[in-house]
Structure 1
């Protein structure tokens, strides 16, 4: 399940890409399939080891083209272990809402992005996220949980303050918003509730089969219910 739209975030074979806060690695895997030289970085060592295993399996299965490379690395998003201008593209997906120093995170991201490079940033959308917070304190009041909700204008302002030039936005994952509302209403850890289990089965079926009906429904609903807000920006080649 990809949040970044690669038709709006084009990659060329051999591009150096950092998936910053890679989590389970979904965007890193897609970049690798597209022939990029990928670094998947996260602070969670267990997730990094899992991502490394999947990248190795993809390599063995021949799922990446010749010249592609991938590395999973544990690290700190506020102190990246890379020189300036190390990457052609960065993906920062669903992590800014977790980090107290979001300005520091963006400053590091901009530092390691080459002039002219692209960055994709995704965060939970304000409306659906506000519903989750209203329904359940346990949804966000956990260690490492969400500490803020961005309005679209706030996130774009953050990008501009960091010296980036936004060039596009959209919303994603409308079908996932009701799932999280159900979980928040019935208990975020209550996986046995029938409505939660039934909706989860539908989502898994949709991700695996990608039927035209649900794909069309999600495209139509994304402007209203999209769970994620996605922004794309470039780093100027000269002084911003």
Structure 2
């Protein structure tokens, strides 16, 4: 399930991309397919082991460039203190991580540090309305270990990123059809995997992701501005001494 729109976040051969807090690697795999060098970064070593296995499987299946053409690696670490030098990456993705980090502004400053001047970042967080309903429906949803510690408005997110030194670019919402699933989960119990309604809706989502029928794709596109589960903001690190704006 890809949240970033790669027409607004172009990557390709010659680009070095960091997927900061990559989780299961969904964006890292897409970057690799597009021929860019990718570093999948996360603090969860088990997730990274699975991501590394998938990189290898992609190479074996011919779904990614040969190693001589593009590199893919996994790195373990803390988003507040990454092991990369200044200006190390042409692109950075930070998808659904800042809502988990108490010191989010420190992580944003680190993202800014490792992105080269003129480079582009894509940041995604849960949208305010769908997330607010989840918090209202379930305490477990946001109090479990490693859970969400804040709800962003887009204005707040963009203000923090601007304060970190970024130029704010376009934005959009994504995954509207996933919002009702999480509302159901929060209403019946976030760990209640066998509830008939939650199970049925999950099967529909899997079917939609596999088949991508025109009806549901159009429905989601129309609903995204209203109940999109995620908001995506695109940013640029200005060239040194530049006063340019992407807004």
- Describe the superposition over 1:157-177 as per-residue Cα deviations: whole angstroms up to 9, x where unpaired: 011001000110000000000
SS at match of 2:187: helix
Report the more deviating stretch, 56-65 or 147-156.
Answer: 56-65
State the match for 1:38 in structure 2.
38
State the match for 1:83 in structure 2.
85
State the match for 1:68 in structure 2.
70
SS at match of 2:83: coil
Separation in 2, partners of 1:42, 1:166: 25
State the match for 2:206 in structure 1.
204
Query: What is the Cα-based RMSD across aligned positions, in Å?
Result: 0.8
- Of the three residues 194, 197, 203, the one matched with 1:195 is 197
Separation in 2, partners of 1:94, 1:114: 22
Gaps of 5+ in 1: none
Shift of 1:69: 1.2
Separation in 1, partners of 2:77, 2:129: 32
- Describe the superposition over 1:137-182 as per-residue Cα deviations: whole angstroms up to 9, x where unpaired: 0001011100000000000001100100011000000000000000
User: After TM superposition, where is structure 1 displaced by more than 3 Å over at least 4 residues in a row?
Assistant: none
- Of the three residues 168, 171, 184, the one matched with 2:170 is 168
Separation in 2, partners of 1:54, 1:173: 24
Shift of 1:62: 1.3
Gaps of 5+ in 2: none
SS at match of 2:232: strand
TM-score computed with the length of structure 2 as normaliser: 0.96
State the match for 1:125 in structure 2.
127
Shift of 1:12: 2.7
Instruction: Work out the number of aligned pairs and report it.
Output: 240
TM-score computed with the length of structure 1 as normaliser: 0.99
Q: Is the 8 A contact 2:59 2:65 kept in 1?
A: no
